[in-house]
Structure 1
Amino acid sequence: MAEIGEEWGANGQGGTTELPSLQDVQHWTGVIGQAQQMMLEHMAEAMAQAPADLALPPVPSPLFADPDKLADQQSDLIKASLGLFAELLEGKPGSEAASDRRFKAEQWRASPIFGVIADAYLLLCEAWLKGIDAIEGLEPRQREQLKFAVRALQDAMAPSNFALTNPLVLERIFETRGENLLRGLEHLLADLGKGQLTHVDREAFELGRNIAATPGKVIHETPLYQLIHYAPVTETVMETPLLIFPPWINRFYILDLNPKNSFIRWAVEQGLSVFVVSWKSADESMAEVTMDDYVVRGQVDAIDTVRDLLGVDRVHTIGYCVAGTALSMTLAWLAARGEAGKVASATFFTAQVDFSDAGDLNLFVDDEQLGLIDALTQASGVLDGRYMAATFNLLRGRDLIWNYVVQNYLLGEDYPAFDLLYWNGDTTNLPAKWHRAYLRDLYRDNKLVEPGALSVDGVPIDLRRIDTPAYVQAGREDHIAPCRSVWKLTEQLSGPVRFVLAGSGHIAGVVNPPSAGKYQYWTSDQPADSLEAFEAVAKETKGSWWPDWRAWVGAMTPATVPVKGARIPGKGKLQAIEDAPGRYVRTR
């Protein structure tokens, strides 16, 4: 913090402080004036567009704490506070905060005051959460909701999020003479205008050029999806093709970001005939779309289209996240109709069917949230994708919100060119009728695991009828589909199951190419009746699980065929409509 002291003109000995020059006064007056003008202009525009009546949220009833627990916690807080004072006397404040990524920079310990601020903040955070445990009369779900809300508030109140309590920001202010704050304010006002936090330089990417660029053709199109067939790069391919269903709450190219980490390109290079569904972002014409459409007129239609095109009896399938949930319904629907043989295998990426232990997302599903969706979508019947993006960002607010508040708004840094963040900000709209039913029937009421509780196109769904071989992948640190919840899928299926627990989370646990040499995965050939039992006997393997999956699917259907005719996109009975990645992925 020497630079700050010099800029302020302090002599470091408690003496006099030099007055700023006229030029300095003019400069900082101009910075403040420009910032005020930008904020006033934005506020005037926002007020002109604001609704006339803004309802205040309901105030909860008063709650009371267990006095004995509260007394113990207050005693612990006092002891911890004395420990902070001892650290200050010993000249090593911030030692506790150093383990927190927000306070790792050396500047937090270069000046005692910032180290104390960081340690005191973490101390209070711990005390607040303990205080929730002392509250009487809360149901378990209410307690978890309150803890989530408090953690979100804590993340928002972190001293790293404010210019005057973040030494890195103060340094940048004096280094740039306040220009970083103006750049940051420009970023902030632009984000407020479009209603979405910006994570990445969106001009750095172009679909089909340096992202979603694996060569292929769109060979089939419906009002719900486009079907992409990717160009083979090997002389022969596996006879049984691979059909991938990505989640329709995101763009499909999470599996085709760039050539180095593209699962789609890797699968093509492994000698597979690869087809991918690209779902259409919902518009008003899709207001009445339901799960029946995504299952029957989506997944089943795509399965039949690929089978007919290539003249094969069955296909391998992959369902990612919500598309994996739908894939389980598809398999049960086919089984009920005596058509299970159309699918040779089903691979599930971080997919859930039993939502009793679905993590923090469950905290967002109640009558108030369902009512909010109704209010947001009453006019169009479509849920704006920015709502879902904000919800997922809130689940990891520290990393996906406040980290970028500091980088973008306070430090005023340029946006990075990062393909994953580009994808994360490329939101899709959802049919509100379907989304509301999904949250109500699956997350809230957990009906999918009740045989016959749900029907698709008039066919009762019973997951126990699925005997298709399954490969179930879960992410060990997944915050969207917790591995404990994904494991429950294995308990519903009647056929052979290979469960793989991958290192990392919902995205990195899936998008982990072998060439990267990152993370690890766990497998076991021994039967296990719980995730804990699996972990007790599982073997750890370094690196990507993709080769394990390729060996599994290859052993099931080893036959290959030459690449000719319909194996080449657009050369069979289905002519090419356009080049991949197609129009639907560009539809906003």
Structure 2
Amino acid sequence: MDANPEPQAGDQGAEKTPDPIRDIQDSQQEAARMLSRMADMGHGPTAQKLAENIERIEGLGQRLMQAFGSRSLPNPGVEGPGPDLFMTATSAFMKTLSEHPTRMLETQVSYWAETLTNYSRAQQALAKGQLSAPEDENADDRRFSNPLWKSHPYFNLIKKQYQTNARALRDAASELQLPDQIARRRVDWLTNQIIDMMAPTNFLATNPDALEKAIETEGESLVRGLENLVRDVEMNGGEMVVSLADRNAFAVGDNIGTAPGTVVHRAPLYELIQYAPTTDKVHALPLIIFPPWINKFYILDLKPQNSMIRWLLEQGHTLFIVSWKNPGPELSETGMEDYIAAYLDAMDRVRDLTGQEKLNAVGYCIAGTTLSLTLALLEQRGDKRINSATLFTTLTDFSDQGEFTSFLQNDFVSGIAEEVKRHGLLRAHLMSRTMSFLRANDLVWGPAIRSYMMGEAPPAFDLLFWNGDSTNLPGRMAMQYLHGLCQENAFAGEGFEIMGRRLHISDVKVPLCAIACETDHIAPWKDCWRGVAAMGTRDRTFILSQSGHIAGIVNPPSKKKYGHYVSDDDFTSGHEEWRESASFHEGSWWPRWGEWLAERAGQMVDARMPEDGLEPAPGSYVHERAG
């Protein structure tokens, strides 16, 4: 909610340059005027309370201006699409207009007719003092759950017109004759972003929930909302980033991430944690988990009842996990080769501590991508240390960029390169913002409405707390990943050059189990499947879990919430054929994977307790927050 997109009084048709500070000041003045009107109407606070609230608004306004003043210079390259996209869309519009003028005129006339119909219905309803609303084409849209959207002529007109506008924008975009699929995806993405941003629920005057709350609380909700806004801007160095969870509700190692263990090794890039066994006997081969360094490892140990770490210990595994360093500018030159070297070093430490030549490894998301690179490197070196590998929601073939298409074109990647040049890092807030706008209504607009317009405190929700505990990415690694893997698709193509080798996806030949998630928008399951199908291993299992990138993985058997699909397909026909042949099984995939893993984990031996280490789990690196 960077700026109010509606024209301000006195504009007289002139276009104004977006100015967040000016718009915040306007919002403060409007909030004060609203409180005053509420008091005059007898629906609001007493004169004393009104004076107190206005004084609070003025004080908060001064703090907000100071917070905005601390914001670093903006980078236009990461604030939105580059001019190439707008030139492409404009050219396509002019081409369509010149070649199909009748079709465009018909579309415009249809839009006018529907708009007039919406207005006419509202007029009739106002005249009758009631509204008989037709069936809503988006009845399941949670944004319009308040009964007033159906029963009140004013709000019903706003909703209907918004839906009409949204449909008109999508139709207009779909009719553009664009040069390729990339341009199509980018135009569609930008169109949907505009539609989501312009929703009437995003503005106080057209949000019945916020208006009712303001009246119910005598304006207190508006003041609390401004307090929440000031807090977020101050907390994020002048950036407007809405808090998704109460940061004071959780403490890693206290009420989340509490599985007992020991930090047995610390390196500049990672800490290695060994967990205390919970069974008398364990499998001979140890298990090491590499979590993504985009986020923190305790997603696998949020609470005891949904902790994969605790579950694996119960299955009799000697379990190690890597806790990555949250990099600062001093690690700006750290590259993908350094992470691969860290993988190898961590494996060596595990083998030394357990006396085993072989081990099993797990990689989650980008850590699975890097594990695949490491497996290819080991294969080329003739190193047989990995007995089996498991990949969680892992992309290795980037030929289809999916929902990230808009962010993986040269204009945006060049903007990231400028960020890296300026800060040495791909900073956490930029990565989080990018991910959030893939699901803007759930992760941007919805939370902003609840926090800034309703005055609600962020929820005490462990998953959202983890989601907000982001990490920076070393600049060099980020650019290698974006250019070499995402844009060039080198690993699945001509080979990814690193550490003196050209690594190919077909070099991955160890026994492999891959888990993907049905509604994952970050690592779509069909793309995960395509990468596994291209690997050189003959022993491979693919499991498709219901739900998304996180909930599909953190899906303990005790929940009995999401099921999974498996198939005996041989990976030669394509993902659609695999899905059609797959059988559905109720409940978590964990036990199925557990059986697969046990078959490759060796005989049972006496449990191994961690030796005296550096400090108790969860260690020190996990507590480092991105600046």
TM-score, normalisation: structure 1: 0.90
Report the counterpart of residue 18 of structure 2 in structure 1: none
Report the counterpart of residue 57 of structure 2 in structure 1: 35
Question: After the TM superposition, which of the residue ranges 577-586 and 304-313 deviates more from structure 2?
Answer: 304-313
Report the counterpart of residue 385 of structure 2 in structure 1: 342
SS of the residue corresponding to residue 99 of structure 1 reads: coil
Report the counterpart of residue 620 of structure 2 in structure 1: 583
Measure, in 2, the Cα distance between the counterparts of 1:275 and 1:352.
23
Q: Spell out, residue by residue over 1:185-241, the C-alpha distance to the aligned partner (whole angstroms, 9 max, x if none).
A: 111111112223211111111111111111100101111111110111011111111
2:360 to 298, 301, 316: 316
Q: 1:120 to 1:433 in 2, by over 3 A?
A: same
| Aligned 8 A contact 1:320 1:349 in 2 | yes
What is the CA-CA distance between 1:367 and the residue it aligns to?
2.6
Measure, in 1, the Cα distance between the counterparts of 2:73 and 2:497.
40
What is the CA-CA distance between 1:24 and the residue it aligns to?
4.8
| Aligned 8 A contact 1:97 1:104 in 2 | no
2:501 to 434, 455, 459: 459
Q: Spell out, residue by residue over 1:412-442, the C-alpha distance to the aligned partner (whole angstroms, 9 max, x if none).
A: 1122111101100111111101101110111
| Aligned 8 A contact 2:67 2:230 in 1 | no
SS of the residue corresponding to residue 470 of structure 2 reads: coil
Report the counterpart of residue 525 of structure 2 in structure 1: 483
> What letter matches 1:535 in structure 2?
R
2:339 to 283, 294, 307: 294
Q: Which runs of 4+ in 1 moved over 6 A?
A: 7-10, 52-58
Q: Does 1:363 align with 2:406?
A: yes
Unaligned runs of 5+ in 2: 1-34, 126-130
Q: 1:205 to 1:48 in 2, by over 3 A?
A: closer
Alignment of 1:496-511 (within 5 A): 496-511=539-554
Q: 1:91 to 1:542 in 2, by over 3 A?
A: same
Measure, in 1, the Cα distance between the counterparts of 2:478 and 2:557.
35
Report the counterpart of residue 101 of structure 1 in structure 2: 142
Report the counterpart of residue 159 of structure 2 in structure 1: 118
SS of the residue corresponding to residue 390 of structure 2 reads: strand
Measure, in 2, the Cα distance between the counterparts of 1:520 and 1:48.
48
What is the CA-CA distance between 1:322 and the residue it aligns to?
0.3
Measure, in 1, the Cα distance between the counterparts of 2:435 and 2:195.
18
What is the CA-CA distance between 1:280 and the residue it aligns to?
0.3
SS of the residue corresponding to residue 329 of structure 1 reads: helix
Q: 1:52 to 1:560 in 2, by over 3 A?
A: closer
Report the counterpart of residue 5 of structure 2 in structure 1: none
Measure, in 2, the Cα distance between the counterparts of 1:398 and 1:21.
32
1:469 to 480, 503, 511: 511
Question: After the TM superposition, which of the residue ranges 35-44 and 552-561 deviates more from structure 2?
Answer: 35-44
2:184 to 128, 143, 146: 143
1:128 to 135, 160, 169: 169
Measure, in 2, the Cα distance between the counterparts of 1:83 and 1:256.
55
What is the CA-CA distance between 1:140 and the residue it aligns to?
2.1
Report the counterpart of residue 3 of structure 1 in structure 2: none
Report the counterpart of residue 594 of structure 2 in structure 1: 550
Instruction: Give % identity.
Output: 36
Q: Spell out, residue by residue over 1:13-44, the C-alpha distance to the aligned partner (whole angstroms, 9 max, x if none).
A: xxxxx954997566546534532442244225
Report the counterpart of residue 211 of structure 1 in structure 2: 256
Q: Spell out, residue by residue over 1:530-582, the C-alpha distance to the aligned partner (whole angstroms, 9 max, x if none).
A: 1110111111112211111001111233511111xxx1111xxxx41110000
SS of the residue corresponding to residue 491 of structure 1 reads: helix
Measure, in 1, the Cα distance between the counterparts of 2:467 and 2:106.
44
TM-score, normalisation: structure 2: 0.85
Report the RMSD for the aligned CA atoms in angstroms: 2.7
What count of residue pairs does the alignment treat as equivalent? 566
Report the counterpart of residue 240 of structure 1 in structure 2: 285
Q: Spell out, residue by residue over 1:429-464, the C-alpha distance to the aligned partner (whole angstroms, 9 max, x if none).
A: 11101101110111111111124x322211220221
2:443 to 400, 417, 423: 400
Unaligned runs of 5+ in 1: 1-6, 11-17
Measure, in 1, the Cα distance between the counterparts of 2:414 and 2:365.
24
Measure, in 1, the Cα distance between the counterparts of 2:120 and 2:574.
47
Q: 1:22 to 1:334 in 2, by over 3 A?
A: closer
2:104 to 61, 70, 74: 70
SS of the residue corresponding to residue 268 of structure 1 reads: helix
Measure, in 1, the Cα distance between the counterparts of 2:265 and 2:43.
70
